[in-house]
Every structure is written in structure tokens, then in C-alpha cells.
Amino acid sequence: MPTNFHDKLFINGQWASPAGTAAPKTIDVINSTTEEVMGRIPEGSADDVNAAVAAAKAAFETWPVTSVEERRRYLQLIADKLASKKEEIAALIAAEVGMPLALATAVQAGMPAMVMGSYAQLLGEFPFEETIGKALVVKEPVGVVGCITPWNFPLHQVICKVAPALAAGCTVVLKPSEVAPLTAFVLADIIEDIGLPAGVFNLVTGYGPVVGEALAAHPEVDMISFTGSTRAGKRVSELAAQTVKKVSLELGGKSANVILDDADFERAVKSGVGACYFNSGQTCSALTRMLVPRSRHDEAVAIAKKTAEGFTVGDPLGGAAKLGPLVSATQRERVLGYIKKGIEEGATLVCGGAETPAGLSKGYFVRPTVFANVNNKMTIAQEEIFGPVLSIIPYEDEDDAVRIANDTIYGLAGGVWSGDPERAKRVARRLRTGQVEINGGKFNPLVPFGGYKQSGNGRELGKYGLEEFLEVKAMLL
């Protein structure tokens, strides 16, 4: 059987056939560039979730009392193995999701190894106990954790949950996206290879309404960590509420990039286009709304048009393209629908559009698109598109820019550009969002990531991500 064709789940430290059927159902994994089947995974069921949760619950008897040094050793082994497989991981994700290979190697493969390693390091310095007066306050693992992850950064989002959960002493049942699941099997192979105790990590693949909902509702799952759409996050919360389990949600975004009148416009607009188009726009924190002074709107539009037209579209494995395809036919149709909606509602189409990119009859490609003269009440300014579509919105003054930036149900990320860093910080403090890039600030794996409002609750990465998987106990002496 080819490497990417899987017929077993990873439960209790071994590869096991799905429960209940002699001939298990499978789910095809589609190459987003060729539209051909590139792999298959098992279609798991609620019975498989039950088996995985039972294994995780049994393992929780011993894993939390494993020494910090031993947990650190396992995490570092996983980090090292992930780093050694970066070419394999990058190639899988470039084919599944569509990110150009060089970028996928650095980001889709590089970040998971970095984040896993950061938790191995953090464990050596994290205070699990604190004395307050005569009382001892201890931080203990929350228990069995169900991790439900998306397709856009398939391994990174897995590691952002699994690494801190294992570091905290929790045991895990992972349900990755069925759209881009193949690197979850790479991770399971690594975990088997390093000899992580049976039941500490379990992998059950399948569809959200079956496997995901069974995890969220399971009475012996103590916590759900979910990344995905706001709609799906609400459903997870509803199910989890029935057993009052802890829920951490990282959901949608419609992030504003505020370019102030004293910014370096050429640099800010160019960077802003890239921040919107990263991963073909398939990024929850993408800066999809560019807010510019009304008096400089046309200047910004001209720079954005020239920049967007430089984003060549093509095969992510070919080496030349800046933008690969979207992940699926469904996602492409969704994005094209939003582009048509923008035109219908009166936004000015600057470049791109709903037509198929020239010479690309196969693959889920979308032209890099810029809209100008966007009103923040338009659909394309309010709803998450998840494609390479930028909305340029004019504002009157700084207060108006902040008002527009905050005028959305989301609050995940944002950006502020100014020639005066202190002014940029003042504006950033007024944005109701979990993370703000100031003058193009770069990714930091140790700072918290997560959202306000309907972008979710809880945080990932660094010590803040670790604390999500801990309960606090006070011992009164």
C-alpha cells in the first residue's frame, strides 16, 4: 500500500483497524493542484472515539506523575524527529493545502518542530507550584483532552495543542481535519517510534459531525481544544456544555491592517498585501481589511494593484509560483462567491476576479484579488473569505480607523503602521483583538495567540498555551 494510504487508527500505542466493520470506510485526500487522489484515511466512528478516550483515560493514571524531565525528553525527541522529516512534511502539505514548497518547508514544516521544541524548553522553567502565605497553589493537568484541528496549517495547529497538552501532563485524542490529515499520521509514526507510553496520544480520523461531535460530547473528555470556523466552534461549545468540560476555541477572523497617515506607504501596503495573501489567504489571522486615509486611498490602491499582480499563481511544487491553489473545490467556490458578492455590492474590482487564472484548467486556483472603495458594511468586509481577497477601506481620521477596525464580530489579529512606533502602540491598544503586528512585526512562538469576541477564547503558544491545559488547586495549610 502506498505511504499516504492509511487503513488504521492509532489507539493505545498501536495501529488498530476502525471498529465495527470488516471493510472499513475510507476518506479520499485530494491533491489541490492535480485534483487527484493522493491518499486515503480511515473514516472513524463514535466507537473509535470511545476506544481512544478509554486508552487516554487509562494513560492519565500514570502520565501526569511522569517527571518533568521525562516529559521534556519525549517532547524534544518529537521536535527532533519532526525537524528531520521537514522535506516529507512540506511536500505533503504543499500538495494537500497548496502552499508553495519553499514556504511550506519553512512554515508548515518548520513551525511545528520549533513549537514542539519550545515546550520542551519551557518545561524546564515553568513554575507548577506557588506559595501564597501558608497556602500552596499547584497547577495540575486538566485530564483527557480532545484536540480538533483545521486544514490550513494542518501540522502546526496539531502541535499547538498536542505539545502543551503533553507538556502539562494531559493525555490526548486528536481528530485532524479530514481534508489535510496526512501529516497527523507522520506525527503518530514518530510518537510510536520514540516509545511514548501507550494511550498518551491517540489519533482518530473522520468527519466532524461524527468523530468531532463524539469527542466534544464525551463525558470522559475533560477538555476540548478546537480550531476552526466560528460556526463549528459554537457547535463544539454546545456539546461540551452538557458535561461542563473546559473549552478552548481559536476561530475565525476579519483582521484590520490600519495604515496611518505617517506610515511608509510603499512598505506598508506591499507588506499588507502579503499579509493578506499568505497561504493563499487561507489563514485565520490574515490581514484582509486594509484601512487607509481617504486622502491617500488611490495611492494605496495603485501600490496594492502592482503588488498583487506580482503574485504569480501556479503549481506549488514548481518553484516559481507565489500563490498555490486553495485546498478544495468547495473552498474555491466559496471564495469565488465572495468575489462576485463584492462586485454586486458595489466595491471596485482593482485586479483579479472570479475568472480562472490563465493556463490553469486543473487545480483549485483563484486569482489574487483586490477590491477598493470598500464600505465596512459590505459582505466582503464583514465575513471571513479564506482566500486571496483584499478589501481596501478608506477612513477619515484615527478615531474613524479604530471604529472601523473594531466594527466586526471578530477580534483575532490586526496590524498598525506608523512612522511613530509609540503612536502605533497607542492605536494597537485600542484594537479589540488578540494580536497586533506593529510595522510588520514577526511571528514569535512564545507569545500568546488567540482572539477576542467571536474569534474564540483561550490562548495558544508559550506559557499561555501551557496554562490552558492546567487546573489550579489551592492547598490551605
Q: What share of the chain is helix, strand, coil (3-state, %, to 5)?
A: 40, 20, 40
State how beta strands 135-141 and 369-372 pair: unpaired
* 160 flagged as catalytic: no
Grid coordinates belonging to 241: 456544555
Integer angstrom CA distances of residue 451 from 179, 279, 471? 24, 20, 21
CA distance 54 to 31: 34
Phi/psi region, residue 68 (left: phi>0; alpha: psi -120 to 50; beta: rest), is alpha
State how beta strands 223-227 and 289-293 pair: unpaired
CA distance 302 to 313: 20
Q: Which among 460, 469, 467 is positioned nearest to 127, based on CA atoms?
A: 467
What is the 8-class DSSP label of residue 142? -
Phi/psi region, residue 221 (left: phi>0; alpha: psi -120 to 50; beta: rest), is beta
Grid coordinates belonging to 435: 494580536
Contact present, 12 and 55 (Cβ < 8 Å): yes
Contact present, 290 and 272 (Cβ < 8 Å): yes
Contact present, 428 and 406 (Cβ < 8 Å): no
Q: Which among 14, 20, 11, 12 is positioned nearest to 46, based on CA atoms?
A: 20
Catalytic residue among 96, 178, 213, 250: 250
* 147 flagged as catalytic: no
| Angle made by CA atoms 454, 249, 216, in degrees to the nearest 5 | 120
Sequence-ordered list of residues with C-beta below 8 angstroms from that of 293, at least 6 positions apart, any chain? 259, 260, 261, 394, 395
Phi, psi dihedral angles at 105 (to 5 degrees):
-65, -45
| Angle made by CA atoms 93, 225, 182, in degrees to the nearest 5 | 20
Catalytic residue among 160, 170, 284, 351: 284
CA-CA-CA-CA dihedral for 326, 328, 334, 335, to nearest 10? 10
CA distance 417 to 154: 30
Looking up cell 473509535 gives 48
Grid coordinates belonging to 375: 464600505
- List residues with catalytic annotation: 250, 284
